[in-house]
Amino acid sequence: MKVTKRRKAPAPDKPASGSRSMPGTTDKHLEKLEADAVRTGDRTELIRYRKKLKTRGK
């Protein structure tokens, strides 16, 4: 019979910190505009908002 020592559990992940937004996080206003665009078929507000984000450097 082989006996091995137990390994320590890995350290818990640290939460990300900083002032930048996390990759993959969603913009609530963008989600709302997308839902409205799907519902109404009018994408002008969505396009305008995305342009504004792009010019703002996001």
Q: Could you read off the pLDDT of 38-48 as tens digits, one per residue?
A: 999 999 999 99
Rg (CA), the chain: 22
Nearest to residue 48, comparing CAs of 25, 30, 26? Answer: 30
The reported pLDDT for the residue numbered 58 is 56
Nearest to residue 57, comparing CAs of 9, 21, 15? Answer: 21
Contacts of 53 (CB under 8 A, 6+ apart): 27, 30
The reported pLDDT for the residue numbered 16 is 66
The reported pLDDT for the residue numbered 51 is 93
> pLDDT below 50 — which residues of the chain?
none
